[in-house]
Amino acid sequence: MTELPIKRLTQPLMDSIAEQARSSPRQRKNHNFHEHHDRVQRFLNVLQPGTYVRPHRHVRPADADGFEFFLVLQGAIGILILNESGSVIHTEKISATGTTRGVELGEGMFHTLIALEPDTVMFELKEGPYVPMDDKDFLPQFPLENTPDAKQWIQTWQGYFA
């Protein structure tokens, strides 16, 4: 019998990725359903509390769309929308069991994510292809990952969802 091109999103897959995220220094882990060159990026992003996502936005070429869609399958995420000066202008909690389970951000929106529960699993969807050097435009006033300043920002941002 021929093997069909089916990719499954299962609880054992989410559990395995969550375990990898727990043991990762970044406290998060992706699992791609797409290839880097695909026109549509589809992936799981598993975040643990304490992970630092440097504020960024996605800007795509004129023939592409810079949206980003987040759907929480397990746990909860806080999304913070920032202006160009780095001030938080909007917050959104998305949760697998809450009223809001997913949001789509438009192109050019600076944002960051805070894991509000252990083993939080999100499905993300955005236009590709993935080009590591061009994928994110970071807000320069925020620190790099794995710095003491980054840890302070995590604590500050968690306060929006306490």
pLDDT tens-digit profile, the chain (162 residues): 678 989 999 999 999 999 999 999 999 999 999 998 888 999 999 999 999 999 999 877 777 777 899 999 999 999 999 999 999 999 999 999 999 999 999 988 999 999 999 999 999 999 877 666 667 889 999 999 989 999 999 999 999 999
Helices (H), the chain: 11-23, 148-158
* Residue 107 pLDDT: 87
Q: List strands edge to edge, sheet with 68-74.
A: 28-32, 40-47, 120-127, 68-74, 102-105
pTM of the model: 0.92
Tokens of 103: 């949001």
Rounded distance, CA 27 to CA 50, Å?
7
CA distance 1 to 147: 52
Give the pLDDT of residue 151.
Answer: 94
Q: What local confidence, expressed as pLDDT, does residue 133 receive?
A: 63
Contact 128, 39 (CB under 8 A): yes
pLDDT of residue 160: 97
DSSP 149: H
| Domain coordinates in residue numbering, the chain | 11-139+147-161
Which CATH number does the domain 11-139+147-161 belong to among 1.10.357.10, 3.60.10.10, 2.60.120.10, 3.40.50.300? 2.60.120.10
User: Residue 42: its pLDDT value, please?
Assistant: 95
CB 96 within 8 A of CB 136: no
- Position 132 scores a pLDDT of 62
Handedness of CA 31, 16, 71, 143 (dihedral sign): negative
